[in-house]
Structure 1
Amino acid sequence: MTEPPGEFTEDAFLGGQLRLRQPRSGHRAGHDAMLLAAATAVQSGHRVVDFGAGVGAAGLAVARRVAGIRLALVEIDEMLAGLARDNASSNAIAAEIIVLDVTAGADAFVAAGLPPDSADAVLMNPPFNDPARHRASPEKTREIAHVATAETLESWIHAARRMLKSGGALTLIWRADGLAEVLAALDRGFGSLAILPVHGDPAAPAIRVLVRAVKGGKAPTRIYAALMLNNESAAPNKQVQDILAGKGVLPLANP
């Protein structure tokens, strides 16, 4: 890729195991992507699809942890998709980069090589800020990446349900205060839910929720002990630091 100097940064993830080029401003990968990757259960040989992949952070982090997956990174923004392609190449990770709107119909998915019932795992970090409470960014890419419409979550989960094989798993990260929306959207076609709340610190309400759901699953819902990003002294939680350094996974990755 060619780009004006200073428009992009190169950042280390997983303790330097993964290096990603990304825009200096606009949508940037961070803790959410790494937590999502650490919560995603996959095995070598699995077909894994990352919806709304951005520069590829979450999907590439999964591929760095589990060798031999067949990874597809789906992103609507051509510039971000180009960065994802470069990031996969520079990290020597095999990945198919697909420029596609996740809300597109089944025919568009098939044309892009993503037919129904073909994925073992889907992971996603959909746009989740409530437009009624979130001041939209003047940068269109940041707005697309972060601000949800009323139909965003349901349409993304519908696309995941269509793509997954029976018994395949969807893993997502969302606003904790929107958990009811997640459960409602998963009510059709998914079961065996596993839920992990994420708190900024022990004294504050959860800020994120990680959810794994199995297509056609029948097992009871499990709620795991909350993950604290910081401890009572506002110091970073060692467990989280280890996960961000690529030295561990979250319970959802061990179903």
Structure 2
Amino acid sequence: MSETIPEYTEDAFLGGQLHLRQPRSGHRAGHDAMLLAAASRAYQGERVVEFGAGVGAAGLAVAKRVGGIDLTLVEIDSNLAVLARHNAVANGIAARVVVLDVTAPAQDFSAAGLAPDNADLVLMNPPFNNAARHRASPDLARASAHVAAPGALEQWTAAARRILRPGGILTLIWRADGLADALAALTRGFGSLVIVPVHGDARKPAIRVLVRAVKGGKAPTQILSALMLNDEKGRPDPQTSAILAGQGRLPLAIA
């Protein structure tokens, strides 16, 4: 099947450090991708893999912060993969884009160059809306990116566990009201969890959680101070705004 380039917009991220083409309609990268990148700990020379990369926003944002990583972007939609390849080249980032279903069997991953026990970091923003509780978008690409099939999170975390080396790190962003599901999915093979709640408004409950997990980790789970997108008066939080502008990183990416 031939790949087609969808109608797109050109958008700036990280305060203009990163420029991305992304579809005009359907799933579009935003704060979640930049927060995921800011929460992902990586070092020069490490192998970094983004699952469900879309146009490559989070993985490319990590590469902008940490030079010299070996980056692979995994995306099921071949049209988005076309844009991800363009975005890597346009931003001067060496990245390999693989068209692959994250729920595919292990042999498909190996054939795509993603062998077991090989990655240092996996980051992912899986589809997280429950199909039973949320009406899917009529836009099929958007629905695929947002609505999770039953057991999808367990499959995504299992795939991450398989390709990560012992001691490798998984970073994910998820719905705050689905934290129990995320913790359950990480019980097999992961430990040393660190969690940061993310509030859209300081006066309201968290809307997202950022979670860092270590393959084979044994340390107790930690919950760090919450991140606010906006303060009590609805104004953008200065610390979070600086992070979204590429001027810092979250504690998950440091300790």
- Residue 53 of structure 2 corresponds to 53
On the 8 A contact 2:74/2:102 being kept in 1, the answer is yes
Contact 2:34 / 2:57 at 8 angstroms: preserved in 1? yes
| Partner residue in 1 for 2:156 | 156
Structure 2 CA distance for aligned equivalents of residues 211 and 250 of structure 1: 11
With the length of structure 2 as denominator, give the TM-score of the two structures.
Answer: 0.98
1:215 aligns with 215
Equivalences for residues 123-142 of structure 1 within 5 A: 123-142=123-142
- The amino acid that maps onto 2:169 is A
Shift of 1:114: 0.3
What SS does the aligned partner of 2:117 have? Answer: coil
Quote the residue 1:43 is aligned against.
43
**Cα distance in 2 between the residues matched to 1:194 and 1:140:** 33
What residue is the counterpart of 1:62 in the other structure? 62
Mapped to 2, the partners of 1:54 and 1:31 lie a distance apart of 14
Q: Deviation of residue 201 (structure 1)?
A: 1.3
Amino acid at match of 2:211: V
Query: 2:191 matched to which residue of 1?
Result: 191
- 1:26-175 equivalent positions in 2, closer than 5 A: 26-175=26-175
SS in 1 for 2:71: strand
* Range with greater deviation from structure 2 (199-208 or 39-48): 199-208
* Partner SS state of residue 207, structure 2: strand
Which amino acid in the other structure matches residue 168 of structure 2? G
Distance 2:123 2:5 in 1: 29
Distance 1:231 1:238 in 2: 9
1:77 & 1:174 partners in 2: Cα distance? 21
Letter in 1 for 2:139: E
| RMSD (Å), alpha carbons | 1.0
Deviation by residue 1:134-182 (Cα, 9 ceiling, x = unmatched): 1111111111100001211000000000000000000000000000001
Tell me how far apart the structure 2 counterparts of residues 43 and 141 of structure 1 sit (CA, whole Å).
33
Deviation at residue 2 of structure 1 after TM alignment: 7.1
C-alpha separation between the residues in 2 aligned to 1:232 and 1:146?
A: 28
SS at 1:93 equivalent: coil
Residue aligned with 2:194, SS: strand
2 CA distance for matches of 1:78 and 1:25? 16
Task: Give 1:11's aligned amino acid.
Answer: D
Note the alpha carbon deviations across 1:174-215, whole angstroms, 9 max, x for none: 000000001111001000000000001121110000000000
State the one-letter code of the partner of 1:106: A
Q: CA deviation at 1:3?
A: 4.6
State the alpha-carbon separation in 2 of the partners of residues 133 and 181 from structure 1: 15
